[in-house]
Chains A and B, each alone.
Chain A
Amino acid sequence: MTPPTMLEADFAVARRSFDVAAQLSLAPGERLSLFGPSGAGKTTCLEAIAGTAPLRTGQVHLDGLLVNTAKAKRPRRGALVEQPAELRHRGVAVIRQPTTLFPHLSVRKNVTYGLGARAHSRGGALEELLERVGLGDLAWAMPDALSGGQRQRACLARAIARPFRALLLDEPFSAVDATSRAMLRTIAVEAIRREEAVAVLVTHDLGEAQAFGHRIGIMENGRILQLGGTEQLVRQPATLRVAELCGNRSFVPHHSGRLWALHPDRFMVGAWPDKGLVLSGRILSVRPYGPRFACEMQPFSHQVERSGGDGHQGGELCLGSGIDPGQVVVNLHVDSPPRVGDLWEVTSLSPPLVSRVSLAGDEEG
């Protein structure tokens, strides 16, 4: 039996340079992250799903309700055209970018805006919600007085304060510090679970996308290039472009015909926040390189420890099948030369440090 679908979307939105098209189907409780560079059409996707952007073709259904449909160019006379549900009946909660708090209402009134008469009966729950998103002291502040991060907190509280069928988040935590971001994400995820709603999050931070979604769609130029599980996208990018968009900077050809994709942050190991992510290994060779020195280092392991904090992602060196991690060599450029045989730790505080990774025995060049 196929799981029931909550959100069924298949649409194209006309934009100046290209159409934004997507085909999505989400089950109740499912969270999808849309990830991609700026201008990829992610926000347009959200607007199409919310039904606030006119479609060129296609339809969007949420919980059996038509929320968006393409307008027929010339509707046949007498033909009944199904109209999308009114905005207020859609059960769509949005967090936009930039944030859209009502500037003439206090934080508290913003959050209770959608509650109507229920606001009073939920007084206690409301205080708790404000407290949880970290706005307990700012309940009566006006939006103009808030920082960007505080505004995003208030928007989250407003969005989840009333029942919803879909939560659409556009860069919802971009101005929030890393620690609070994890907390806010948890609050959002709990609300989605509680409502058995669907959620679509738009971000250009892959870590954010992975942490939030069950699945990730990677977008560019209005298309979803790949839609898959959070690990699948990173470990098995379908195309070179997807691998690039995931942040892999260098690609090392392997004799199997596959490529190694190497990510400047991702393959760095460790969990010491003061140092950043750390890769440790043994120095194989050192030679002068301009004013600096070029060394080769063999990492101890390609395994990456999951760091406790949420800011950085763990993972592992992303290897094609049949590659022995022992063969990996990291090329470094450093100011003061280590000795061959030294144990070294390379931090990712300066990503350009690692210029290239090659297989042991590969020709340099």
Chain B
Amino acid sequence: MSQLSRRAVGRIPAAAAIVAAALVWVILLGPLAVLLTQVSPHSIRQSLDQPGALAPLWTSLEASSVALGCMVVLGTPLAFLLARGRLRAARVVEAGIVLPLLMPPLVIGLLLIFLIGQAGPVGRVVSGVDPNVFGVNTFFALVVAEFYESAPFYIITAAAALTTVDARLEQDAQLLGDRPLSAFRKVTLPLAAPGLATGLAIAWARAMGAFGAVLIVAYNPTGLPLQIDESFIANGLNAALPFALLLIVAALPLPLIALLWSTRALGRRRSEVAVGAGS
């Protein structure tokens, strides 16, 4: 075999890899491309100009924001404890966190009725406070359903990000005079930030798109995913697509910003390395 042809043969795997990568990319982005070609500006205007058409968007944005806030406040400490192995029976706790991920959302919705509906003992207590605020089919129920569908993504990703931060750095910060909380804020958080942001971004996308559990416990107030479902059933594909586009536009920016920021944060540290090495 000549030198040339051998080199050509050697390139086949590389070429195959490139083709495969391009194929995956096209397959993944295909639906989005289709959506953009199928929705005309006219149909968008027609759908969204109706009075109250944007209400589901606001509902979804508000509920997702609240769910995300709860997630950060409640989930970050849990993720930290998981990451540092401070929990007794950490595996059991972890399994408990993953469980909502593994259960079909529809089933979660059914079970949530016991938690916030009047059917179960917990629900009776919760909705006993004020059934119009804490019962089924309330904003509260929507937040809870979105929380169940998205929080595990954040906690697992956050725990993974926090694990990468050397615990000795936290100790050092405290030995240098920091309270545990400020050591966390000044050392752990900045170092884990790209990973935490990725976790938040994934959770945001999940919360915005939450459908299964929401369908059962929070049909009202109507969020964007339910609006899509309703439009599709009532008026067909063309009526649903503008809302689908709306959902993507609303759900994507945060993940994209987070992704770009975290890669930039890493890139910046790297470029500083280069500058430092040059001087």
Closest Cβ of chain B to A135, distance in Å, is 12
A114 close to chain B: CB less than 8 A = yes
Contact stretch, chosen from A89-97, A181-189, A242-250, A275-283? A89-97
Q: Which residue of B lies closest to A94 (CB)?
A: B175
* Pairwise interchain contact B171-A87, C-beta atoms closer than 8 A: yes
* Pairwise interchain contact B171-A103, C-beta atoms closer than 8 A: no
Q: Which residues of B are found within 8 Å of A142, using beta-carbon distances? A: 269, 272-273, 276
Most buried by A among B173, B174, B276: B276
B177's contact among A96, A114, A138, A145, by CB below 8 Å, is which? A114
Closest Cβ of chain B to A195, distance in Å, is 15
Q: Annotate A186-229 by CB proximity to B: 1 below 8 A, 0 otherwise.
A: 00000000000000000000000000000000000000000000
* Pairwise interchain contact A113-B173, C-beta atoms closer than 8 A: yes
* Pairwise interchain contact B178-A138, C-beta atoms closer than 8 A: no
Q: Which residues of B are found within 8 Å of A255, using beta-carbon distances? A: none
Given contacts A88-B178, A116-B177, A162-B177, contact A145 B172 (CB under 8 A): no
Given contacts A138-B276, A144-B272, contact A100 B172 (CB under 8 A): yes
A293 close to chain B: CB less than 8 A = no
Determine the main DSSP class of B at the interface with A.
helix
A6 close to chain B: CB less than 8 A = no
Q: Which residues of A are found within 8 Å of B269, using beta-carbon distances? A: 103-104, 142, 144
* Pairwise interchain contact A90-B273, C-beta atoms closer than 8 A: no
| Residues 190-208 of B contacting A (Cβ, < 8 Å) | 190-191
* Pairwise interchain contact A50-B277, C-beta atoms closer than 8 A: no
Q: Annotate B163-192 by CB proximity to A: 1 below 8 A, 0 otherwise.
A: 000101101111111111000000100110
A145's contact among B168, B171, B276, by CB below 8 Å, is which? B276
Number of interface residues of B (CB under 8 A): 25
Most buried by B among A93, A113, A162: A113
Closest Cβ of chain A to B82, distance in Å, is 20
Closest Cβ of chain B to A337, distance in Å, is 52
A86 close to chain B: CB less than 8 A = yes
* Pairwise interchain contact B175-A50, C-beta atoms closer than 8 A: yes
Question: Complex formed: what's the CA distance from A85 to B272 in Å?
Answer: 38
Q: Annotate B236-279 by CB proximity to A: 1 below 8 A, 0 otherwise.
A: 00000000000000000000000000000000011011111101
Question: Complex formed: what's the CA distance from A90 to B190 in Å?
Answer: 25
Given contacts A103-B191, A104-B191, A137-B279, contact A158 B176 (CB under 8 A): yes
Number of interface residues of A (CB under 8 A): 26
Q: Which residue of A lies closest to B191 (CB)?
A: A104
Q: Which residues of A are found within 8 Å of B179, using beta-carbon distances? A: 86, 88
A238 close to chain B: CB less than 8 A = no
Question: Complex formed: what's the CA distance from A90 to B177 in Å?
Answer: 9
Q: Annotate A75-110 by CB proximity to B: 1 below 8 A, 0 otherwise.
A: 000000000001110101110100010111000000
* Pairwise interchain contact B171-A88, C-beta atoms closer than 8 A: no
Q: Which residues of B are found within 8 Å of A103, using beta-carbon distances? A: 191, 269
* Pairwise interchain contact A90-B276, C-beta atoms closer than 8 A: no
Q: Which residues of B are found within 8 Å of A113, using beta-carbon distances? A: 173, 176
A125 close to chain B: CB less than 8 A = no
Q: Annotate A157-176 by CB proximity to B: 1 below 8 A, 0 otherwise.
A: 01000100000000000000
Q: Which residues of A are found within 8 Å of B177, using beta-carbon distances? A: 88, 114, 116, 162
Question: Complex formed: what's the CA distance from A325 to B173 in Å?
Answer: 55
Q: Which residues of B are found within 8 Å of A88, using beta-carbon distances? A: 174-179
Residues of B whose CB lies within 8 Å of any CB of A are: 166, 168-169, 171-180, 187, 190-191, 269-270, 272-277, 279
Residues of A whose CB lies within 8 Å of any CB of B are: 50, 52, 86-88, 90, 92-94, 96, 100, 102-104, 113-114, 116, 137-138, 141-142, 144-146, 158, 162
